[in-house]
């Protein structure tokens, strides 16, 4: 595929291909925008069926990181790296060293972090060869675990959505259906339980479900049931594309607010939610706590500054909801427009000192 002809090419600043014969590294690094600062986004390792599939992922994900970083008001642009390979069988120190060289070749325009297929033990190996890396535990720096920050942001954002749609400042006695009980979903569940919400939970990990039932007095549902159960708030914290032509007509929730990525199967599903008067908290806005934590390592922010910025997700969402209500547009369209406005502002040259 010609990069420029790809339907997912969005005037990316750079798309670099790396093929290291000695180590077998085959990777793509896509830099969508550096208008707000160096491009930052994780590295994904996956056995793509074709190079075109890998390119599509890199292009889409890097653009998404531009929007995520801009809407979180971070001094970072958007980028993403993909390594073609099976993360269970194809990793080696030599391959990661070659990847570090690839990152270095971009001269600091791209800063890498973790994504699917790249695990915490892999990060120090990559870091041996490059300083352009963040989002993992490093001596003398804030912790790299993004789960708690993401959960806090989702909790704050969910409350902002509840206030806008349901007119209440608390989740007490609201029925909240949580899909996925990983670090983010379980962290959110604990915060909601402490405030008095009534939880309905589902996960393929039955141990996590039992923990929520026993310690948080949650009601268990099956993974097939959770999206369409009777509830006030649906919080997706697992799979993407769960809001689609089949599920949206069957939703009972009046608010959708969760940390999962790519919740809308297609862009028009945001309009479908609006038409059903279901308030949707755009995923890349509400789950921004993780990238805020990564930015904190890059910028050496204090824990207090991280918390301030994560709690600010609620204000950003409130502004999106208000603008969407005023203009009659889906919240996902408003979020995209706000991100694009911030990126465009970042591209403007600074005024010369008078």
3-state helix, strand, coil in the chain (%, to 5): 45, 15, 40
Instruction: List the one residue out of 253, 223, 251 whose CA is nearest residue 238.
Output: 223
Helices 313-327, 303-311: axis angle to 10 degrees equals 20
DSSP H helical segments within 258-330, as ranges?
A: 269-275, 283-286, 289-299, 303-311, 313-327
* Both tokens assigned to 212: 């929520």
Taking the C-alpha atoms of residue 273 and residue 354, their distance in angstroms, rounded to an integer, is 50
- Answer yes or no: 21 catalytic: no
| Residue 205: DSSP 8-state | -
Burial of 270 (0-12, 13-18, 19+ CB in 10 A): buried
Taking the C-alpha atoms of residue 52 and residue 60, their distance in angstroms, rounded to an integer, is 12
Taking the C-alpha atoms of residue 233 and residue 199, their distance in angstroms, rounded to an integer, is 10
Question: Which of these is catalytic: 22, 68, 80, 131?
Answer: 80
Count the Cβ atoms, other than its own, within 10 Å of residue 339. Answer: 23
Burial per residue of 23-35, b for 16 or more beta-carbon CB atoms within 10 angstroms, e otherwise: eebbbbbbbbbbb
* Both tokens assigned to 286: 């509400």
Q: Beta strand 233-236 with 255-256: parallel, antiparallel or unpaired? A: parallel
Which residues are catalytically annotated? Answer: 80
């Amino acid at each position: 595929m010609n990069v420029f002809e790809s339907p997912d090419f969005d005037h990316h600043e750079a798309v670099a291909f790396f093929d290291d014969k000695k180590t077998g590294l085959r990777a793509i690094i896509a830099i969508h925008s550096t208008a707000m600062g160096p491009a930052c986004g994780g590295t994904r390792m996956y056995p793509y069926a074709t190079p075109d599939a890998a390119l599509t992922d890199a292009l889409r994900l890097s653009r998404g990181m531009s929007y995520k970083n801009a809407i979180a008001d971070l001094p970072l642009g958007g980028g993403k790296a993909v390594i073609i390979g099976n993360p269970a069988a194809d990793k080696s120190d030599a391959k990661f060293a070659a990847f570090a060289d690839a990152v270095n070749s971009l001269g600091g325009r791209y800063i890498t972090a973790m994504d699917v297929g790249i695990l915490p033990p892999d990060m120090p190996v990559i870091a041996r060869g490059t300083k352009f890396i963040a989002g993992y535990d490093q001596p003398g720096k804030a912790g790299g675990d993004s789960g708690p920050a993401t959960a806090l942001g989702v909790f704050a954002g969910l409350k902002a959505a509840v206030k806008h749609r349901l007119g209440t400042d608390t989740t007490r006695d609201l029925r909240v259906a949580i899909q996925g009980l990983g670090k983010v979903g379980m962290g959110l569940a604990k915060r909601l339980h402490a405030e008095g919400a009534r939880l309905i939970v589902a996960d393929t990990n039955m141990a996590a479900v039992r923990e929520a039932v026993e310690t948080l007095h949650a009601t268990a549902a099956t993974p097939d049931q959770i999206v369409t159960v009777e509830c006030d708030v649906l919080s997706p914290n697992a799979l993407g594309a769960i809001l689609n032509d089949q599920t949206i007509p069957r939703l009972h929730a009046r608010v959708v607010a969760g940390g999962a990525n790519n919740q809308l199967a297609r862009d028009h599903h945001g309009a479908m939610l609006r038409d059903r008067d279901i308030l949707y908290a755009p995923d890349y806005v509400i789950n921004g706590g993780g990238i805020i934590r990564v930015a904190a390592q890059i910028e050496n922010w204090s824990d207090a500054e991280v918390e301030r910025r994560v709690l600010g997700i609620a204000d950003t969402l409130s502004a999106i909801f208000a603008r969407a209500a005023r203009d009659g547009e889906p919240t996902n369209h408003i979020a995209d427009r706000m991100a694009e406005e911030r990126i465009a502002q970042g591209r403007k040259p600074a005024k010369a000192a008078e």
